[in-house]
Copies of this chain bind each other. A is one copy, B any other.
Amino acid sequence: MSIKKLAEYLGLSKSTVSRALNGYLDVNKDTREKVLKAAQELGYKANPTAKRLASGKSRTLGIILPSDSNMFVSPAFAKVLVSLSEFLAQQDYQLIVTTIFDWQDETQVYLDLITSGLVDGIFIARTRCNDLRLTLLEKHRFPYVCFGFEEGFSKESFIDVDNQQAFYQLTQRQISLGHTQIAFINASAELTLSQARKEGYLRAMKEAGLVIESDWILHAELKQENALLMTEQLMQSNNPPTSILCADDSMALGAIASCEALGYKPGINIAITGYGDYQHSRYVKPAITTIKYDTSAVGKEMAKLMLNKLENTAFHIQNWHQTEMLVRQSDCHARASKI
């Protein structure tokens, strides 16, 4: 059932039918109704591919995820993705989720996607400092929206949670619990969120006049195993911390396991915190003190931001999203020594 057939059936021209279907004003009201009715009855559905070719727009957006990372598996990000995709679906937009391999040239993959005509815009998941992907997108003047902020980003192109504030709060809490030796197992250093979090941590430490050991600030990918190893090193050093901030709840779980293996009691004589409020976090023992944010809202805002760029919509955007600290059992007061 093509528009041609529909036009023939109605005794009208393709053009008129097309206009009626697409809500143009210069079409007789009766005609429009007839067309709409016939389309309904005959089950006419415009062919999206043809629409794309003719209009030059694909009504499809892309997001490229590293296949090896656990980003896809990270509960918090998965929720953002679901919410993003949901809102887009409501606006008749598709989301293509592509993965990228280690061995692939990232810039090339992005370039391919940009020039493919497959997508009208691209979402960037975790921005990096001086992100080459953004340079590329800017250069090609290709619409994008990122989840992550760096100095200089335009309000039209980013959504982020206040990572700095989150870790400022978390660190402050540790300090108020009496901790002076606070380690921080941060995410990969190249991520903007890692920088923001580090700033929050440093700010709280400095405000309290605490000594900051550079050995206490570590970076790694968000994997339990990494946190496990790092915690082991930290706790077996000459100067072990009494509190460890982890970059996410998976890492917190690894840190907890590591501490227990070394004879510590997380939540009693060693404080550990996470981030993201993963599903399991409130059920593990000790339940993880963590940070949560409104994942659905973030996803939705990202979609809105993109639509504002692509359509003539003017959704009101909230660039920054606040976080909430969930105090549970994995952190605790500082103790003089092992129990």
Using a CB–CB cutoff of 8 Å, the interface residues on chain A facing chain B are: 43, 45, 47-50, 52-53, 58, 60, 65, 67, 70, 72-73, 75, 78-79, 81-82, 85-86, 89, 94-99, 101, 112, 115-118, 224, 250, 253-254, 256-257, 260, 278-280, 283-285
Contact = CB atoms under 8 A, between A and B. Distances in A.
A95 B48 CA distance: 16
B45 A53 contact: no
How many subunits of this chain does the assembly comprise?
2
27 contacts: A45-B112, A45-B116, A49-B58, A49-B118, A50-B53, A67-B85, A72-B82, A73-B75, A85-B97, A94-B98, A95-B98, A96-B96, A96-B97, A97-B97, A224-B279, A224-B283, A250-B280, A253-B280, A253-B284, A256-B283, A257-B283, A260-B285, A278-B280, A280-B280, A280-B284, A284-B285, A285-B285
A67 to B, nearest CB: 5
Q: Which of A67, A72, A279 has the most CB of B within 10 A?
A: A279
A307 B117 CA distance: 23
A73 B78 contact: yes
Contact of A52 (B49, B86, B224, B278): B49
A43 B257 CA distance: 52
B95 A96 contact: yes
B70 A279 contact: yes
Contacts of A65: 82
B115 A45 contact: yes
Nearest to A1: B115
Nearest to A95: B97
